[in-house]
Amino acid sequence: MSDYKPPIPSDPQVRLIKPTSKLRPRSWEGEASHLVTQGTGLWRVTGAAGSGVSSVVVDTVIERIRQGWEPSSMLVIATSKESASRLRQEISEYVSKMDYVSEGPLVRSVHSLAFALIRDASDEDIRLITGAEQDAVIRELLRGQAEDGHGGWPPEQREGLRMVGFARQLRDFLLRAVERGVGPDELVALGEQYEHANWTAAGNFLREYKQVMSLAGSHSFSASELVTEALRGPEPAVKYRGVFIDDAQHLDPKSAELISRFFPEAELAVVAGDAEQSVFRFRGANPDFLNKLNADHELVLESKREASTSVVVAETESAHADLIADTVRRAHLIDGRSWSEIAVVVRSAGMIAPIRRTLLAAGVPVHINPTDVVLSEQRIVAAMILGLRALTELLNPIELEDLLLGPIGGADPVTLRRLLRGLRQAEMKMGGQRRAIVVLGDLLEETDAEMLGFLTERELNLLDRVRSVLDSGRQALADKGSIEEVLWALWSATDLSNSLSAISLRGGASGSQADRDLDAMMALFDAAGDYVERRPSAGVRSFILHISEQELPTGMRERRGAIPEAVEVLTAHGTTGREWKRVIVAGVQEGSWPSLGETGTLLGQEEFVDLVDEGIDPDIIISRSVERLAEERRLFYLATTRATETLLVTAVNSPDSDEVREPSRFLDSLRQPIVVFEGEETNQIAEPEELGNRLLSIPAMVAELRRVVNDPRDPRRKQAARQLSRLAEAEIPGADPSQWMSLREPSTEEVLVEGRIFLSPSRIEKLLNCPLRAVLDRLDSEEETPIAMLKGTLVHAYAEAVAGGVDPSIAEEKVTSAYMQLANVPGWSHESAEIAFRRILTRTHTWLQNSRADFTEVGTEMDVSVTIDDTVSIRGRMDRLERNRSEELVVVDFKTGKTQIAVKDMADHPQLSAYQLALSRGVLRNGKISDPDVGETPDPVGGGLLVYPAIDAKAVGQRMQDPKTQEDLDEFAAMLPGLAEHLRGPNLLARVNPTCSNCPVRSLCPVQPEGRVIHA
């Protein structure tokens, strides 16, 4: 086996330092001081963002501990696990120097409290399931109802049972019902009472869901069910001397009712929050508990936060991305702010990934809350799941490539391609016909010494690397190891833990990605452990299905003792209770902010909530636009009040682009002048010496220096060269001229083709368009056949079969069946695709019948091989050859596209012209067109015909090319030797042509913007 190990950065060193506390003593005056030091009774504490509402709660708790209150006699409630963790960390830091001992967690989320109450009151084995697990169970049950036809869903909704969107809306609907204590029977009754069939079906579904979950051996609750279940239980036996609730505006009514049970016995109860930050109505939250609380005392704090605010609008998406990256880097490099003191806030989770890529490309370390990420979508997790699958099943070709290119294989595309070519050559030498990727799959299953003998050492290293990892997993399976043990065997064999740990310790952008990968693997092992604990006898395949079916973010255990030193990118909802020195609220666009779309429309979720909470008849039409707009304004307010020093709000204004982008109306509420950022070549936000025209990153700086060095007119060339030399000595990528592709020598000067060149008529057409594409298109022999080519091939096969005497209906069934199997048509369009293809076959048959009045068939799929001169021959295959009434040969070519060539362009059609040339210089012999013997004369040529059976017209489309004159043919023939020379290489000509828009090699082409950077 190979000794290959992942590269580990040299000399990773770790130095432990004493943590520096960022907390500072606070002082309070007036009513706030009274509450903190000696307050009693029920208090309501409110205040705008930055006024210190949470700080009052923390300081009151700390003061009570200082006064000698038992920590176990105080209950501190946060509305989420994340906010509870932050409060707990802050309180722990303050009391770390006190004589402090606690029997349990001082700060709990409301769901943690409910879970503890249920556990104390019940002898059953209970557990909390994640939202991702619940979503997977719901989708599985819905699939079963769709297949069996039961469930009572309305006919118009039954088709949606298999769709993820329907499952998500059903889950949200059931959560809102459970939060309000509405069970299956009540839900069915409401559906029948108000004639909402989908409510009745949802109630029956909820009943089935509860029955299925009860079969798991333990009583499983979702977070929403916990509170309702806790309220059904007896009065809490535990009593608290102090009860403190932070961010009370985020509580739903049932959570508020549960917490209120502890108020009567409490010496001090504090309910704190800000109704203007209530942004979780879609989760059932309601600020009424905070607003309508019958408090003994009320404290209203004034905001002390005064962050400087600026609003910048970019004219393009790329300029917008540069603006964000540049602002972040300057805040860190020039203003001295640590990465963790900077945050980028976006409206929705879908906007996180583009911002993350932008920042990473600029060398900025990025941290994303794991709760914003779906576990199975993490690249390293997907690779490990793929490795687990390879232990128990055969992977398809695409999955095999992913396995080798991913973390398990560690290969780059060039090395993989070299391995596949080596396997293909070895297979051919051994007389086999298997595709290279199939051979690779077989070698991963079983060693073939003879096959391996043909491979180079580099190719063997890659193959041995993957085999060693999979063999470790197979051995663990053979030893009857648990899912955790099999997964650990795979992970250990990759040795990625050492590599990623070393990269993580070095920090920076790559370090933040390594952190993310390690966090993802920890979450995967947590999931495996939990799964084994619940299902000890379950196999690897069931665990793979369990992870793969999760399409919601999975909560992960918090193990970090310190905040990651990285810029946090998060949604506006995720900023609740947080603050940073520098905040960028990015992409504030009309249409996405405010987002006024309705939620839960499939099941009437908002009508249901209004009915249960307010008693409003669901049949009464209520406009919620004002309500939704108000919540969106509160969300914008929340996002723009997180900065303590500087706030930047950005948007894109591109009214003339393909996708019109317009800044949000909310920008006006900031009452700040709007500055336009147009990019590098136009107006800047500030003077060049202050802001600069370039993104403040190493790649951008190297690029600018290289541009100056390569411009002979720029007086700064020598200075730029000196700076590049310094950067090259520091091993900065791209600074050393030896890394510049334009200065490198070609790896070979050998020609691609020697001797005679054979040109097919279709290749002649491609060479006339672009020789570069014509050559590169043929290099990758492993690619799947494009759908258009597949369709054309099958239509030609049908025409040939019918011409050969096969019954048209039988030929149609065979060819259609083959097309539907090979075309990989999505299920939703299967029927329409089959109808469209059958229509093409029917019209092809119609043309074959109707054309017999003008043509007599000579042959189909006929080979052509005719010499043009000493260097070039035409070699190919004709679809059909016919004789017209004048006994002239006419070449016929079927085209399955829906666009016909213009009549004016037919005279110059290169494919038909090439066939006419071949017919004019060859003879028909034994069903082939070949060079004439001495004394043989070619038959007269009557032109060429294109047939379009797929066009949307009553008649089958036709385009005729008139017979070429001898002068035209000689001129065409004289062009071919020069055209053939383009194939010889080693230099290939790139040419702009009408097919550039769909060219697969644009990124390599020197005449396209995408590829120009390679050749600069």
CA–centroid distance for 71 within its chain: 45
**Length of the chain measured in residues:** 1016
Best CA proximity match to 822, nearest among 810, 834, 832 = 834
Q: Round to whole Å and give the CA distance between 795 and 792.
A: 5
- Tell whether residue 947 is among the known ligand binding residues: no
Neighbouring residues of 162: CB distance < 8 A, sequence distance ≥ 6: 142, 143, 146
Strand-pairing partners, residue 107, are 76
Q: Round to whole Å and give the CA distance between 546 and 722.
A: 57
> Positive or negative, the Cα torsion across 256, 121, 74, 50?
negative
Structure tokens belonging to residue 76: 């501190």
Burial of 354 (0-12, 13-18, 19+ CB in 10 A): middle
Best CA proximity match to 62, nearest among 31, 28, 29 = 28
Structure tokens belonging to residue 527: 């999931």
CA 62, 64, 70: angle at the middle one, nearest 5?
105
Q: Round to whole Å and give the CA distance between 838 and 835.
A: 5
Q: Backbone dihedral region of 11: left (phi > 0), alpha (psi from -120 to 50 degrees) or beta?
A: left
Indicate the SS3 state at residue 786.
Answer: coil
Q: Are 364 and 567 in contact (CB under 8 A)?
A: yes
CA–centroid distance for 635 within its chain: 25
- Tell whether residue 2 is among the known ligand binding residues: no
Q: Which residues of 102-117 are buried (b: 16+ CB within 10 A; e: fewer)?
A: eeeebbbbbbbbbbbb
Best CA proximity match to 922, nearest among 982, 878, 953, 960 = 878
Q: Are 403 and 470 in contact (CB under 8 A)?
A: no
Indicate the SS3 state at residue 359.
Answer: helix
Concatenated DSSP letters of 589-602: BTTTSS----SSTT
Q: Backbone dihedral region of 887: left (phi > 0), alpha (psi from -120 to 50 degrees) or beta?
A: left
- Tell whether residue 50 is among the known ligand binding residues: yes
Concatenated DSSP letters of 276-340: GG---GGGT--THHHHT---SEEEEEPP----EEEEEEESSHHHHHHHHHHHHHHHHHTS---GG
Indicate the SS3 state at residue 126.
Answer: strand
What are the C-alpha distances in Å from 603 to residues 165, 170, 203, 979?
12, 7, 12, 65
Helix ranges, 75-130 (H): 81-95, 110-121
- Tell whether residue 747 is among the known ligand binding residues: no
Q: Which residues of 684-697 are buried (b: 16+ CB within 10 A; e: fewer)?
A: bbeeeeebbeebbb
Q: Are 176 and 199 in contact (CB under 8 A)?
A: no
- Tell whether residue 51 is among the known ligand binding residues: yes
Neighbouring residues of 251: CB distance < 8 A, sequence distance ≥ 6: 79, 110, 245, 259, 285, 286, 289, 290
The secondary element (H helix, E strand) that includes residue 787 is helix 787-803
Amino acid symbol at 601: T
- Tell whether residue 52 is among the known ligand binding residues: yes
Binding residue ranges for ATP: 47-54
Binding residue ranges: 47-54
